[in-house]
Amino acid sequence: MGGTKIFVLQMKDLIRTAVFAVLGLILIVLLVVLFIPKSDGAQAESSLYIPGVYTSSIILNGEPVEVRVTVSDTEITAVEMANLGEVQEVFYPLFTPTMNDLASEVLQYQSADIVPVTDYPVTADILRQAVSSALQLAAATGE
């Protein structure tokens, strides 16, 4: 007697089974998201710079003057001139005040891609280019 068998399913049993299946899938997805380790590439993308002190040189009166840029992994922390001798200060008196103005703007805007507000645009542009080349050395993307 191989007759037909009839199954009777109630609607509440079907709904309960569907809800448990959806909850099980959500739990599996949540566990996968939580336990898969984060890649190092995402961390490198959040870093703008390789921390350190980077320099760029300007030749004034036949002598090099260094523009030093100090960076952390996410921001520019200091911009300054080094090795500026007395003779260079006498012959180029605008470099020190222009550098101070430029440094404050670079720190404020966190970029060397600015138009410096100064009465000496040529001097400011020379210093800005030196800061920009030091920041290119510090870039985490290897530009």
Of the options 3.30.70.3420, 3.90.1010.20, 3.40.50.2300, 1.10.3720.10, the CATH number for the domain spanning 47-138: 3.90.1010.20
Q: Please, which pLDDT band fits residue 40 given cuts at 50, 70 and 90?
A: low
Residue 24 has pLDDT above 50, yes or no: yes
pLDDT at 89: 87
Give the model confidence (pLDDT) of 103-140 as tens digits.
999 999 998 888 877 788 888 999 999 999 999 999 87
Residue scoring higher pLDDT (137 or 44): 137
Question: Where are the domains positioned within the chain?
Answer: 47-138
3-state secondary structure the chain: CCCCCCCCCCHHHHHHHHHHHHHHHHHHHHHHHHHCCCCHHHHHHHCCECCEEEEEEEEECCEEEEEEEEECCCCEEEEEEECCCHHHHHHCCCHHHHHHHHHHHHHHHCCCCCCCCCCCHHHHHHHHHHHHHHHHHHECCCC
The pLDDT of residue 103 is: 92
Average pLDDT over residues 32-49: 71
